Structure 1
Amino acid sequence: MLVFPIAFDELADLESLYPEADAAVEAAEAELTELGSESAPARTWFPETFIWTLVPINDSGAAELAVTVPDTITDWRAMTFCTSESHGLGISETTNLRSFKPFFVEPTLPYSVFRGESFPLKVKVFSYLKQCMALQLSLMDSRDFEFLHENVRFTLCLCPDSAKTFSWDVKATKLGKVNFTITAEVVEQEDVCTERTAVVPESGGKDTVVKHLLVKGSGVKGHAAAEKPASQNNFTVGMDISAVYMNPFAKAHKDGKGACTKAEGQLEEKTHTSFLCPEGTSASETISFTMPENIVLGSERAHISFLGDIMGTALDNIDELLQMSSGCGEQNMVHFAPNVFITRYLEETGQLTPEIKQKAIGYLESGYQQQLLYKHTDGSYSAFGEGSEPGNTWLTALVLKTFSQARDFIHIDEQNIKDAASALIKSQTPSGCFKSVGKLFNNGLMGAVEEGLGLSSVIVVALIHSGMPHSDPVVVKALKCIRDLVHADTGSPNLYSLALAANAFAVAGDKALRQKILKRLDKAAIISDDQIFWSQQSKQEEDSLSWYRASSVDVELTSSILMAHLTKSSLSSDEIKKASKIVSWLTKQQNPYGGFASTQDTVAALEALALYATNIFSKDSPDLQVSLTSKGFSQNFRVDKSNRLLLQTVELPAIPQDYTLHVQGYGCLFLQAILRYHIPPLRSEATFAVSVQTECTVPDASRFPVTIRARYTGNRVSTNMVLIQVELLSGYSPVAGSLEELKKMPLVKKVESKAGQVVLYLEELTRQPQTYTFLVEQDMQVKDHKPANIKIYDYYMPGTGIYPSYAVSAHQSFVTPANCHHM
């Protein structure tokens, strides 16, 4: 097997190649890959990694791989790793491939900007031809951005061994990905090149580049609740997030103090989900999109998506189920485990097409390799790997179970299975139950772990999935201990532990005890609006329920009980009806991407939903006629077995407004309505106290420190794992050395720098204040800076976060010291 990676070494300093211009031209003509010609499409594909794939080789030991070279003007560096049963591991020498054009343009943009910010879009034009050329350089007009001045078409004379730079001042006006299309074309114009004769090349006389820019709205993403009144589905505000906006870089007052100003607003993202099953008749639902009076003008947008499969949204967004950082061993599982459940569901229902299988297996292989980074020498796994803390039994059990299930689809080294099982067996006590080892970052589950019932149930399920027979002494002793704990617990039970125990007995084949536990759990069920769910907290009144706001623990609890209900050879119609009511509640907790609040609940819920979808699947359905109507708007769709996995999305033309969905036919329609807008920051009870401070000792400084001080103020002793996500100001990047220093600070488990932000992973926060500082430096000029946000939250309770911000002065490079505190 051949592993073939290619990454690029970008020709950042292209001027340094000018002494070899003639050689470069000859090479382009003789052996290098030429990009584009007059008839070639625009250059739009600029990946950082070109090839990373497995290639089987024949007996000759040779293999060929036909690929399309990306559009980047660069040197690609490639090497291969080859494995053989008889010869072991082989590593090739590195080889180069230069993708090149004798004449091309290179635009320079920030990674992202906020709406309303402006920046100079700089474009360099390079030529390695042996003659001069007359060129016209243009930037295509667009409704997505504005020119601060007139849109100029530049005419220039470009001769060998030269490069010229031009720029347009533009302002970002539309949210989302904005395309900038730049074209340089050779023209026949005699008065441009006055000192030397200009030529028109036979080919390659035009280069068009399309570069994308992410335009963000100022403010942070809130976790809003969409409450459902009895009459219809209305989106109403239900926020419990504290947001404090501080501007330590505001324009200086005469007294030298900084000013605190508001950001553009906080992003509200609200989700309503429904599962409509007309079963030969018709079903309808009216959704009313309403917004508060203080909405940021022009920020509202909404769409409705629907498909014929309950797993379709998760499948379509498998790489972004969580809109939060996932840089540790526990969070990586949210990208790995759901693929197993979804792939098995599609395979068992005959829907696993080659295209879907290729996508799913790609994610599985990537997730598997990534998870091995967090493996300890004793076979266990922890959130941050060897050297950070002991392996965690809870995470190790999840890894063992998922690796065992993934064996049906990808190669899993059996030694990794054996090592994880061995690590778990070592934690078994003489009673047969298992003790907790290592850090469990979600302390909302501590009760289940401390008493042994929940943890032991999870480990037994993992061991059985790994192939350990039910008669093995480890399994026999563990089941006896779990049985004894269930019988001994006659008081107020830990619902989560009981749910896990029900699952353990279901997997072990003990139908009687599984059913007995489920009856106990049914007594604690909360039934509301034809939905069923469970909560670790006291029963709630119907009118207080909210959607997409359930706690991570409640989602995982309800999912575990659903799994126990479904884990049997056959289900009666009453059992399916009951499971459907649980599913109705679960789907309403989904985020717009098919995931849930955090890691463990997403894994548990998607496994349960996949099992439910498998049980109710019918090859003859769906066959649905769907109509979406509103005032002055009507659109019809069809959902059948040929497109049941196709996510169909309708952008709504007008909000606020009511939209009615009518469904006729057979089968079920899964729909999500997504409403997004910005509002001014809200203040409410928060569980963190935070201050953001900056310092600058000289004017015109392009480098300055960002200092965050944070402590926990809630009613627990400490938090779960805390993430501090620092959004970088447009045009700024972190100083690498200062990030290395951050890693040495107390409670810091990991520091990530990626795509416009720095992320700190903290083991926890207590009432003891912690201070973290790193440096940022300006690498691209941006004007009219908007505040950048700092998001601090408990990973398992994201609704308890606090969101300060910081900004730059109206004077582009002048930074004003400030002390805006919220401690």
Structure 2
Amino acid sequence: MGLNSRPPASPSSPAVTSAVRQDFPETWIWSDVIANSDGSYHLKVKVPDTITSWVASGFSVNQEVGLGLTESSAKITVIKPFFISLNLPYSIVRGEEFALQVTVFNYFGQDLETEIKLLASTYFKIIKCDNKQLQSTDVIKNIQVANNDGKSVYFWVVATALGQIPIEVSAHAGLAADAMKATLLVKPEGQTQSYGTSQFIQISPGKSFETDFQVALPSNDTYVAGSAVIEFSVVGDIIGSALNNIDNLLKMPYGCGEQNLLHLVPDVFLLEYLTKSGQLTNEFDQKAKEFIIAGYQRELTFQRTDGSFSAFGNSDKAGSVWLSSFVIKCFHQAKEYIPVEDSKIAATMEWIIGLQGTDGTFAEPPEGKVIHTDMQKNPTRLANSINNANKYLENNFHSYSNDPYALAIISYALHKSGSLKLTDTLALLDKLAINKDGVTYWKKDVIESTSEGIWRGPYSQAKSYNIEIASYVLMVYAEKKDISKSLPILKWLIKQRNAFGGFSSTQDTVLGLEALASFATLVSGSGGTGITVTVSANSGSYVNTFDSITKENALFVQSVQARQHFHLFFNLPQTINSVKVIATGDGAALVQLNVRYNVNNANKNQFLLLDLSTTTLNKTLNLTLTASWNGSEVTGMVVVEINILTGYSLLDDGNFIQQIGSTFKKVEKSSNKVVIYLDELNAKPLKFTVGMVEELKIANVKPALVKVYRYYEPGTQATGFYSTSSGQTWEVACPQCCP
């Protein structure tokens, strides 16, 4: 029986109900299977709720006949004679108002009187047309839908809660019915800030550990109410949080050759550690190798025709000695786990050797750009494997007796070469070390820019170069199996990690994880019988005891999270709130606190200047950005991130950016953001315009964030907000909502 031959609905027929459709995957089946002896395999699965056509193809591998491909794809169409479709934005900012479009499709064989209901929710309010007031009740609209046609109705919605909020709509027409549930991401206003800290715990039988963490939020005039998210996590292995976030170690773009290594290198360290500690699972082994292969293949796209590597490959004027050396090290380490072309490494080594001076040092080519300014400021930092360079380090390390950054890299190089001078460089580092509260660290003296408008939490992350210093020294002591020297450095380094297990930039994350893996390998297998961690807050009104941490679950991250307005943890904002952590048992664990919140003000920087302006014409908005740098040192790579206003999209004519007097190295765009890479920023203002067009009717559009920052020092940043000047009421934005 065809779709149009079904019996017509009768007004006297009892109304039917429909299961709520809410399973809408973008892809459906992606499976590896073992076929039967006759080459067949039967897979029984539930069809998703999407009204669409699914196209399936496949391939097979056999030891005798090799690779087999399907000659043609299979197709299955999912259809209902009566169904609804929702059109809503992927995300909005709290307080923004939008029109939810509900379209009813009728292939039932006759015209249908249809009732559409938007169910009430505590997460949003709806305009009710009879009184034109926002209400938290069901809103019903009735329409007639012609046979073989579709018709739309509109509901004006204002989201009042944060997070993923459910929206459920139903349609009834006698014997026909359908219902859908979709989710809408509601983000807080302003810009997101965060802080956190970690504590490495070691206790023996009969002992206990107790400490307090502090939590605070900005004052009410800048803090976005309800935006705070407080998370506590515990894990029995210092590598555990990185393992659980291996594809998201940094909240930063990955568009250049050096940043891409973050998809390759950490997996190598983690695989090595898990293998040596006997904790490697087939699942992680497969996942990590997939990342390594993808990172390796992508990195090859940044290799230049002369064998060198640079941030953007052949589009750069010259290769980078520092990056090329870094890539060689990474590729050599990756060879343990994936096939790597030796010819690629050899070509890079020949290029580097050709740049070596008679004194054993290496210099960047004149046309090369400064990527990582601290790593490239001194050419001695670029050598660690060639005899002449090693002699240079041995003969000249005293010249850097007051520079802990240089001494740390020199010490690492001398350690790798087995030099007897290592004892002398470590002694110099000991003199420069800061030993405080059971931790050891170093600080490089630099002129730091100051930012206005940034509230500082009770815990702040160290600068990238200080994290790198500690990482190099920790690797030396860990590989020397010196636990007493390693442990205080480890405790400090752990405190600097972000919520995802990384640090602040690509380089310090790669080095930091390598150092942590070196120490973890040193002490693997020395854990106790188990440790129990309890956190309590708000004078004991909130208590959570995590599952006992044992060797079997040491890599599993346990966490508890609360949004501030749920009052699970605190009645914030107040001046200071104390969170108590108590651990008992026998063993070690890592306890981490992360606090994320939004502020509604921009931050200015004394050296990094940013100016924004907008113009509008009909549905088009042009954002003009001007940025400059008046600091004394070279910025290195600079990144510009532009968030798109809700309801807008970039002009699709390929000319969404009009550039004035500057050249971008790379531009990446997505549906809600534009990321622009610059070799550097200087005193000459960079000026360009980004064009956008209104796609959805949104009222009370909230300002969108623009951020400019030094990639290797993300704390050196300037932010600003822009918005549309075309404020409009819901009656103007959506006359169809209450016709």
TM range (shorter): 0.7 to 0.9
**Alpha-carbon spacing, 1:648–1:551, altered in 2? closer, same or farther (3 Å):** same
**TM-aligned CA distance change 1:24 to 1:659, over 3 Å:** farther
Q: CA deviation at 1:403?
A: 2.5
Task: Provide, for residues 164-207 of structure 1, a one-character-per-residue CA deviation record: whole Å limited to 9, x for no partner.
Answer: 222322222222333333444x55x3xxxxxxxxx55xxxx645
1:101 aligns with 2:79: yes
Q: Is the 8 A contact 1:507 1:567 kept in 2?
A: no
1:559–1:124 CA distance, 2 compared to 1 (3 A): same
Q: 1:218 to 1:501 in 2, by over 3 A?
A: same
Structure 1 distance, partners of 2:361, 2:34, is 45
C-alpha contact (below 8 Å) 2:397/2:425 kept by paired residues: no
Alpha-carbon distance between aligned partners in 2 of 1:371 and 1:310, rounded to the nearest angstrom: 28
- Give the secondary structure class of the aligned counterpart of 1:218: coil
Q: Are the aligned partners of 1:111 and 1:756 in contact in 2 as well (CA < 8 Å)?
A: no
The answer as to whether partners of 2:394 and 2:421 remain within 8 angstroms in 1 is no
Identity of aligned residues (%): 31
1:279 counterpart residue number: 204
**Residues 1:152 and 2:139 aligned together:** yes
One-letter identity of the residue aligned with 2:104: V
Say if 2:397 is the partner of 1:497: no
Aligned position for 1:552: 464
Q: Aligned equivalents of 1:124 and 1:782: distance in 2?
A: 19
The answer on whether the counterparts of 1:276 and 1:283 sit within 8 Å (CA) in structure 2 is: yes
- Pair 404,546 (structure 1): closer, same or farther in 2 beyond 3 Å: farther
Change (3 A) 1:388 1:56: farther
8 Å CA contact 1:547, 1:589 repeated in 2: no
Q: Distance in 1 between matches of 2:158 and 2:72?
A: 43
Distance 2:284 2:519 in 1: 20
Partners of 1:71 and 1:385 lie apart in 2 by 45
- Whether 1:288 aligns to 2:204 is no
Letter in 2 for 1:722: V
Q: Which residue, out of 138, 151, 163, partners 2:150? A: 163
SS at match of 2:290: helix
- Structure 2: distance between partners of 1:627 and 1:756: 40
Q: Who is 1:749 aligned against?
A: 665
Match of 1:732 among 630, 645, 648: 648
- Alpha-carbon distance between aligned partners in 1 of 2:465 and 2:408, rounded to the nearest angstrom: 12
Q: CA 1:799–1:362 in structure 2 vs 1: closer, same or farther (change >3 Å)?
A: same
CA deviation vs aligned residue, 1:782-803 (integer Å, no higher than 9, x gap)? 1111111111111112222111
Deviates more, 1:38-47 or 1:116-125: 38-47
Partner of 2:234, secondary structure, is: strand
Structure 1 residue matching 2:194: 3-state secondary structure: strand
Shift of 1:278: 1.6
2-structure distance, mates of 1:726, 1:539: 28
1:220 alignment counterpart: 191
- Equivalent pair of 1:382/1:389 in contact (CA under 8 Å): no
Q: 1:442 to 1:813 in 2, by over 3 A?
A: farther
Distance in 2 between the 1:84 and 1:739 partners?
A: 49
Shift, 1:604, TM fit: 0.6
| Cα separation, partners in 2 of 1:134 and 1:545, compared to 1, 3 Å | closer
In structure 2, give the amino acid aligned to 1:610.
Answer: A
- Distance in 1 (CA, whole Å) between partners of 2:161 and 2:93 is 9
Aligned counterpart in structure 2 of residue 626 of structure 1, from 533, 547, 551: 533
Question: Any conservation in 1 of the 2:527–2:588 contact (CA below 8 Å)?
Answer: no
Structure 1 residue 506 corresponds to structure 2 residue 415: yes
Give 1:405's match in structure 2, choosing from 329, 333, 340: 333
Aligned pair partner of 1:46 in 25, 30, 38: 25
Distance 1:808 1:484, change over 3 A: closer
Q: Aligned AA for 1:747?
A: T
Structure 1 residue aligned with 2:375, among 440, 445, 452? 445
Q: Does the CA contact (< 8 Å) of 1:288 and 1:658 recur in 2? A: yes
Q: What is the CA-CA distance between 1:813 and the residue it aligns to?
A: 9.6
Looking at structure 2, the residues matched to 426 and 73 of structure 1 have their Cα atoms a distance apart, in angstroms, of 61
Give the total of aligned pairs.
Answer: 686
Instruction: After TM superposition, give the deviation of residue 409 of structure 1 in Å.
Output: 3.1
Report what 2:251 is aligned to.
Answer: 323
Change (3 A) 1:129 1:378: farther
Q: 2:393 aligns with which of 476, 481, 485?
A: 485
Aligned counterpart, 1:464: none
Question: Residues of 1 paired with 2:519 and 2:4: CA distance?
Answer: 61
C-alpha displacement of 1:155: 5.2
AA of the residue aligned to 1:215: V
- Distance across 1 between alignment mates of 2:625 and 2:353: 43
> Mean alpha-carbon deviation: is it higher for 425-434 or for 101-110?
425-434
| Deviation readout 1:754-774 (Å, 9 max, x if unpaired) | 141111111111001111112
In the TM superposition, 1:257-272 aligns within 5 A as 268-272=193-197
Q: Where do 5+ consecutive residues of structure 2 fail to align?
A: 7-15, 129-136, 449-455, 563-567, 731-739
Secondary structure of 1:168's counterpart equals strand
- Paired letter, 1:219: G
Q: Once the two structures are superposed, what CA deviation does each residue of 1:680-736 show, in whole Å capped at 9, x if it has no partner?
A: 52656432222111123x5xx1112111011112232x3121111111110001113
| Aligned residues of 1:272 and 1:588 also touching (Cα < 8 A) | yes
Partner of 1:338: 266
| Counterpart AA for 1:97 | K
Alignment of 1:323-722 (within 5 A): 323-437=251-365, 438-448=368-378, 451=379, 453-457=380-384, 460=385, 478-493=386-401, 494-508=403-417, 510=418, 512-537=420-445, 547-568=459-480, 571=481, 575-618=482-525, 620-621=527-528, 623-630=530-537, 631=539, 632-637=541-546, 638-652=548-562, 653-655=568-570, 656=572, 657-681=577-601, 685-696=605-616, 698=617, 701-716=618-633, 718-722=634-638
Contact 2:60–2:69 (CA under 8 A) maintained in structure 1? yes
CA distance in 2, matches of 1:400, 1:41: 54
Question: Aligned equivalents of 2:612 and 2:654: distance in 1?
Answer: 17
Distance in 2 of aligned mates of 1:73 and 1:366? 34
Structure-2 change in CA distance of 1:354 and 1:219 (3 Å): same
* Partner residue in 2 for 1:240: none
Q: Residue in 2 aligned with 1:764? A: 680
Query: Match of 1:269, as an amino acid?
Result: S
Give yes or no for contact 1:134–1:157 (8 Å, CA) kept in 2.
Answer: yes
Match of 1:819 in 2: none
| Conserved 8 A contact 1:303-1:649 | yes
**1:64 to 1:53, Cα distance in 2 relative to 1, 3 A:** same
